[in-house]
Copies of this chain bind each other. A is one copy, B any other.
């Protein structure tokens, strides 16, 4: 730095426009104008102001700026499991897209919270977020009401049965089709007794996937066991595999065996797959076929090669951004994200 007198003076507080105004010898309004895109300021004033701001480390306070505008640049993103291989990829893509659009991502992790979820979510509104995006987890009616009353938009991702009177943009991958595709594929592989592994949660898209799977199997007269317990996690898949694929033996009680398993998320399916292969010593797809849902990046890794139902991350992110970009008063819509079978090596 060659600017004379530019010794950095840490104020211990945020630099304000008044500080800059004083340094540049203009009024606060002029400083404001210098930072407002379409405003009229003389070249020399702008130059002095920008220099002063640079020296002092001034940045416009967007919190204060937001007090004037009806919408902030804050987008609340809510989820409960950012370590999940698909959700983390989704979050990575979404946060990147938001950033590119000049929007800020206010992240809220609702998992592992003892308290009131609806109170937690409502906290997002304290920051006047323009939109709340629900990636996963519950959708309390309370939040819906709050958003509606405050004119904030909501974007619900993969929530097949949105609460009554919801004022939200819906983004849905075709769970019914996906579940059906999974069933068809296992049937085609010649499975005679199958199972579907869902997490314990009630209202999610996972249930819809499982339902469609069961319906299609029913139609074909193939018996299906429904395992619905635990979280949406690898561990759940592992536990299910131990129970559903137990080999008959003197100490094991009744003989339970399945030759095809559908995990409603890839993480669950990978838990099933690895447990079958490495813990139970089964051949996949020789002894049992496994199919998942999502197509998370790691599912394609050679260590897994999981056959799965893909919901395109690009499409999903594009649709989410479309919804977020809608103007405040626009009517709500619904975006459908296509789904298709990705053939790999875990179904016979």
Contacts and interface: CB of A to CB of B under 8 A. Distances in A.
Contacts of A145: 8, 57
Contacts of A270: 301, 303
A279 interface: yes
Given A11-B151, A104-B127, A278-B302, A92 B109 contact: yes
Given A11-B150, A13-B151, A59-B125, 7 more contacts: A56-B149, A59-B126, A61-B128, A63-B64, A82-B95, A96-B113, A278-B302
A11 B56 contact: no
Nearest to A104: B106
B122 A96 contact: no
A38 interface: no
A60 interface: yes
**Interface on chain A toward B: helix, strand, loop, or mixed SS?**
mixed
Given A109-B99, A120-B99, A8 B149 contact: yes
Given A99-B109, A126-B62, A274-B302, A10 B148 contact: yes
Contacts of A60: 126
Interface in A1-25: 8-15
A67 interface: yes
Interface stretch (A83-91, A187-195, A213-221, A249-257): A83-91
Contacts of A106: 104-107
B83 A151 contact: no
A127 B275 contact: no
A317 to B, nearest CB: 12
A302 B275 contact: yes
A234 B63 contact: no
A8 B148 contact: yes
Contacts of A274: 301-303
B59 A63 contact: no
A240 to B, nearest CB: 15
A96 B70 contact: no
A60 B91 CA distance: 28
Contacts of A96: 109, 111-113
Contacts of A127: 62-63, 74, 104
A242 interface: no
Contacts of A9: 149
Given A127-B62, A149-B15, A107 B89 contact: no
